[in-house]
C-alpha cells in the first residue's frame, strides 16, 4: 500500500499549496480581527440601551429634582416619555440578586460608557438569563403571513445593576436577540471567492511555467537513456527560456563530443584490426604448428578484447532498434550454439517470456555470462523465468563463486579475481562490465549471487 503524500511533488503544486496556506493564515488572522470587532460591537449594542436607561433614570429620579424644580412635573409629555423609558428600570435600597450567567464584560463596558460621560458609580453587576415571552404584535403578523403556527418564544434578558450611591441601586433590564448574526457563513463565502480569484490565475501561470520544464525534464531523461534527444522549445518566462537555451547548447555540445568519440573509436578499431589481420596472415608462414596455434589464439584474444572495449565505449548509443522478443526462444538459440561447439551448457524448460529488447545486445550479454560460467565454473545452467512485471534469465555455474565483499567490484571494467579467475583463462575483465552496461540501457539489472549448493548465479533482469 502506497503512503499518502500530502506534500505535492510538482513545482506548481508546491507553489499553489504554499499560497493557499498563506491565504488561509491571512484569512484566519482576518477572521480573528473581525470576530473581535464583531464581539465588541455586539457587546456595545447590548450594553448601550441598559446604560442609556440607567443614565436617563438617574437624571430623572425624584430626589434629584425636589418640588417645582422638577422639570418632569411641569411637562406631562416629558413625564410620559420618562415613564416609557423607565418601564424596565427600578430603584432599590439594597443590591439585587441577579439570576442567570454573570456578564462581567457587560459590566466593564457599561463602566466605560459611564466614564465617557463623566458619571461616577460605585459598583456595577450584570447577568444574562433567558425566559419564555409571548410574541410581539409584528411577530404574530409575520407568523400568520408565513403560515407558521404562532407560539411563545424564548428570548434573552440582560440585567444591569448599578450602585450610584452607598446603598442605592438602580436596576435596568433589556431584551437581547437569541439568534447570532450569520457571520461564519459570510466569511467562508468570502474565503472561497478569494481562493478562486487568487488560485485560478496562479494555477494557469504555474501550468504555463511548468509545461516547458516538463518538456525539458523529458528531454533530459531521454538523453540519459539513449544519448540522443530532440531540442526543447524555447518558451515560457525569461528564466525558463534561458534554462532551455543552456540545455539545448549543452545537448548539442555533448552530442558533438559523443559523435566525435564514436568516429574516433571506429578509426581506432579499423586501424587496429588492420595490423591484426596482417599478423594472422603472417602466422600462416610459421612452420611450427604449436607456435602457429599459440599466435592465432593471441590474435583472437586481442580481437575479442578490442571488440569488448569498443562495445563498452559505445554502450548507451546502440543503433539497434528495440523489438518484442521471446527471451526463452532467444536463450534456446544461444545455448544451441554452445552445444554445437561441444560446450557443457544446459537449458531448463521455460514458458514463453516476451519483452521489448535489442536482441543482438541481449545475445551478447547472455553469451558473456555463459562463457564466464564455462570458463570459471565448469558448466552453465540456463533458465528463463516470467515474473510479475519482469523477465529473469539466470545463468548458474558450479565453480567457487565470488566473495560477497567483491561482488560490486567485479562489475567494474578491467577487474579480475585471483585464483581460478586469472589471466591464464583469458579475457581482460570487461565481460561483466559490458553486461551491466547493456542492462542499464534496457532499464534492467545484472544481479550476482552465490548459490547455496556452490557456484555463482548471474541473472539478467529485464522489464516485461
Domain chopping of the chain, boundaries: 11-145+152-181, 318-463
Global pTM exceeds 0.75:
no
d(CA 171, CA 43): 18
Rg (C-alpha) for the chain, rounded Å, is 48
CA distances from 117 to 42, 52, 63 (A): 21, 11, 21
318-463 has which CATH code? 3.30.565.10
Beta strand spans in 28-118 (E): 89-92, 101-102
pLDDT tens-place values along the chain, 464 residues long: 444 466 776 777 777 888 888 888 888 888 888 888 887 887 888 888 888 888 888 877 655 544 444 444 444 444 444 544 455 788 888 888 888 888 888 889 889 888 888 888 889 998 988 765 565 665 566 666 655 555 555 567 888 899 888 888 889 888 776 555 555 677 778 778 888 888 888 888 877 777 888 888 888 887 776 667 778 888 877 778 888 888 888 888 888 887 777 777 677 776 777 777 777 788 888 778 888 888 887 887 777 777 767 666 666 556 667 889 999 999 999 999 999 988 999 999 888 889 998 888 898 889 889 988 888 888 899 999 988 889 999 999 988 888 787 777 777 765 665 544 444 554 556 678 788 888 888 888 899 989 888 889 999 999 87
Burial class (CB in 10 A: 0-12, 13-18, 19+), 305: middle
Measured at the alpha carbon of residue 55, what is the angle toward residues 49 and 57, in degrees to the nearest 5? 100
Amino acid at each position: 500500500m502506497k503512503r499518502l503524500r500530502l506534500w505535492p511533488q510538482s513545482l506548481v503544486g508546491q507553489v499553489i499549496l504554499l499560497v493557499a496556506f498563506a491565504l488561509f493564515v491571512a484569512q484566519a488572522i482576518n477572521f480573528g480581527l473581525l470576530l473581535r470587532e464583531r464581539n465588541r460591537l455586539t457587546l456595545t449594542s447590548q450594553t448601550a440601551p441598559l446604560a442609556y436607561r440607567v443614565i436617563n433614570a438617574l437624571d430623572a429620579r425624584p430626589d434629584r429634582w425636589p418640588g417645582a424644580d422638577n422639570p418632569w412635573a411641569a411637562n406631562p409629555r416629558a413625564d410620559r416619555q420618562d415613564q416609557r423609558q423607565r418601564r424596565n428600570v427600578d430603584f432599590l435600597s439594597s443590591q439585587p440578586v441577579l439570576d442567570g450567567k454573570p456578564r462581567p464584560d457587560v459590566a466593564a463596558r457599561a463602566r466605560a460608557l459611564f466614564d465617557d460621560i463623566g458619571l461616577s458609580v460605585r459598583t456595577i453587576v450584570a447577568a444574562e438569563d433567558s425566559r419564555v415571552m409571548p410574541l410581539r404584535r409584528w411577530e404574530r403578523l409575520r407568523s400568520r403571513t408565513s403560515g407558521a403556527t404562532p407560539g411563545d418564544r424564548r428570548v434573552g434578558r440582560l440585567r444591569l445593576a448599578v450602585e450610584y450611591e452607598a446603598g442605592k441601586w438602580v436596576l435596568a433590564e433589556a431584551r437581547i436577540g437569541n439568534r447570532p448574526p450569520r457571520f461564519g457563513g459570510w466569511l467562508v463565502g468570502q474565503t472561497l471567492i478569494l481562493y478562486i480569484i487568487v488560485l485560478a490565475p496562479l494555477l494557469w501561470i504555474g501550468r504555463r511555467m511548468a509545461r516547458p520544464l516538463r518538456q525539458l525534464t523529458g528531454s533530459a531523461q531521454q538523453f540519459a537513456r539513449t544519448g540522443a534527444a530532440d531540442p526543447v522549445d524555447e518558451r515560457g518566462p525569461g528564466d525558463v527560456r534561458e534554462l532551455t537555451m543552456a540545455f539545448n547548447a549543452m545537448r548539442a555540445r555533448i552530442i558533438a563530443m559523443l559523435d566525435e568519440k564514436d568516429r574516433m573509436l571506429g578509426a581506432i578499431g579499423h586501424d587496429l584490426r588492420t595490423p591484426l589481420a596482417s599478423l594472422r596472415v603472417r602466422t600462416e608462414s610459421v612452420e611450427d604448428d604449436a607456435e602457429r596455434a599459440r599466435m592465432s589464439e593471441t590474435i583472437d584474444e586481442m580481437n575479442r578484447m578490442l571488440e569488448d572495449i569498443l562495445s563498452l565505449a559505445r554502450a548507451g548509443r546502440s543503433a539497434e532498434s528495440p523489438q518484442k522478443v521471446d527471451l526463452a526462444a532467444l536463450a534456446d538459440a544461444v545455448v544451441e550454439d554452445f552445444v554445437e561447439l561441444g560446450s557443457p551448457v544446459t537449458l531448463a524448460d521455460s514458458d514463453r517470456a516476451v519483452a521489448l529488447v535489442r536482441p543482438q545486445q541481449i545475445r551478447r550479454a547472455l553469451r558473456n555470462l555463459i562463457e564466464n560460467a564455462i570458463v570459471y565454473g565448469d558448466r552453465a545452467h540456463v533458465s528463463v523465468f516470467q515474473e510479475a512485471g519482469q523477465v529473469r534469465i539466470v545463468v548458474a555455474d558450479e565453480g567457487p563463486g565470488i566473495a560477497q565483499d567483491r561482488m560490486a567490484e567485479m562489475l567494474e571494467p578491467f577487474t579480475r579475481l585471483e585464483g581460478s579467475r586469472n589471466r591464464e583463462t583469458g579475457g581482460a575483465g570487461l565481460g561483466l562490465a559490458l553486461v551491466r552496461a547493456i542492462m542499464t540501457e534496457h532499464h534492467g539489472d545484472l544481479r550476482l549471487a552465490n548459490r547455496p549448493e556452490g557456484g555463482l548465479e548471474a541473472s539478467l533482469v529485464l522489464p516485461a
